[in-house]
Amino acid sequence: MSVRTKFLTWSVSTTVLGLTAWVIPVAADASPAGTVVTCGQTLTSTTRLANDLVNCAGNGLVIGADNITVDLAGHSISGLSAAGSEGIADDGHGGVHIQNGTITNFFLNGVGLRGAPQSSVCNLTIRKIGAGGVEGDASAGVLVKDSPRTTVLSNTVVNDVSAFQSDGVDVLFSGRTLVSDNRLVNSAWDGMFVYQSPVTRVLGNTLDGNQNHGIEVNFGSDGITLEGNHAGGNGASGLVVGALTDARIASNTLTGNRDTGLFMFDLIGSKITENRAAGNGVGIQIDGGQNGSHGNRIVDNNTSRNLYFGLLLTNGASNNSVFENVSNANGSGSGDGAGIVLFAVTGNNVRGNVANRNANVGIGVFEGQPSDAAGNALADNTANSNGAHGIVAVAGTVDSGSNKAQGNTPLPNCLGVVCA
């Protein structure tokens, strides 16, 4: 690819002190001159590319030193999807910054960071990674492995290939990583996968149209923050979070996901606040998983207009606080959906929620086996104009008072608790 250079014309200025002053031409782009690179080259110093790399048979570039910057400067690196190939491979070099270009058609990863702490990947477009992968193959646009405190910022990853698994971004064993303001869409598995990476922050990303989940956070990523993300139209769930403690899941928008907008399991001591889930199979679900989900605060979420259920606690999600959520008009997909449902859970405090105009019950507390739904406390909830009773609660539910219901069919408005 030729390098396009900008030129300035000469011009005459106004007369200064009776003399004609000429404007001296200067380069419009004062950035460092580019370096011509070749496929597979190992870089040991900061490099600004002067050319594209086309149809690399193996790796595009290899990082060979700590604390360097690789600036693609708008250029592209493309491969032939050869086995094991990566656009840019970094094994063991930290403080590396990769930015500003396009990477396409590699098999393993677009950018692979392994043992590269405090690195960054910014402003890249990465496409078609992992084509042809079969069961056992795992690919990603950006892999961050054993590389804590790394930043993945403002990239677009679209791996719309035929593959067993090709994710947008994978963060593995890399605590305190920041993944922010990326578009991770239409990939052949998850938009993002996070594993054993505590205190990672996932902020403001778009995670739409992926074949599996928008985001999956699984095991050991304690203290994770997921805030301000949009996950829509994914083949399974928008956000999946489980087997961890002290998560903060806030202000995410979850729309049109086939299964669940936000699905949680084995979750302890976490805050789920101000999320909005609409048009999903289920809006928000917290399940006990293998070891139970407890001590969580589910507060001020809106789970209205989902196909089946708005807010669902199931199978051992016990001793949680469910406060001031709104769950209206759910059930359009079956005519049997409900606003807020507790099934086979105990000891939850359900207070100040609103569940109106749902196809079936507004709020339901149900048991799978006798006494496995006892001890849930209901207070100050509102359930109006639902297609069945406003509130239905099994024996053993604690009526803490001030629940309200009207206009539900059939009467009575409430069963198992007293409603004003």
Cα atoms in the Cβ-side hemisphere of radius 13 Å centred on 388: 17
Q: What is the pLDDT of residue 33?
A: 82
Residue 363 within a domain: yes
175-222 residue pLDDT tens = 999 999 999 999 999 999 999 999 999 999 999 999 999 999 999 999
Residue 266 within a domain: yes
pLDDT at residue 366 greater than cutoff 50: yes
Across 251-258, average pLDDT: 98
Residue 420: CATH number of its domain: 2.160.20.10
Share of the chain above pLDDT 90, in %: 90
Residues 6+ apart with CB under 8 A from 179: 152, 153, 169, 171, 192, 200, 201, 202, 203, 205
Residue 247 within a domain: yes
pLDDT at residue 246 greater than cutoff 80: yes
Q: How confident is the model at residue 17 (pLDDT cuts 50, 70, 90)?
A: very low
Cα atoms in the Cβ-side hemisphere of radius 13 Å centred on 38: 1
**234 vs 322: CA distance, rounded Å:** 26
Q: What is the pLDDT of residue 332?
A: 85
What single letter denotes the amino acid at residue 150? T
Q: What is the pLDDT of residue 336?
A: 82
Looking at the 3D structure of the chain, how many domains does it have? 1
Its domain, for residue 339, covers 213-420
Residue 312 within a domain: yes
Residue 113 within a domain: no
pLDDT at residue 27 greater than cutoff 90: no
Q: What is the pLDDT of residue 30?
A: 40
Q: What is the pLDDT of residue 177?
A: 98
The H-or-E segment that residue 218 falls in is strand 215-218
pLDDT at residue 224 greater than cutoff 80: yes
Q: What is the pLDDT of residue 32?
A: 65
Residue 238 within a domain: yes
Residue 314 within a domain: yes
Q: Environment class of residue 308 by beta-carbon count within 10 Å: exposed (0-12), middle (13-18) or buried (19+)?
A: buried
pLDDT at residue 20 greater than cutoff 60: no
Residue 286 within a domain: yes
In the chain, count of helices (H) and strands (E)?
0, 42
The residue among 26 and 216 whose pLDDT is bigger is 216
Q: What is the pLDDT of residue 352?
A: 98
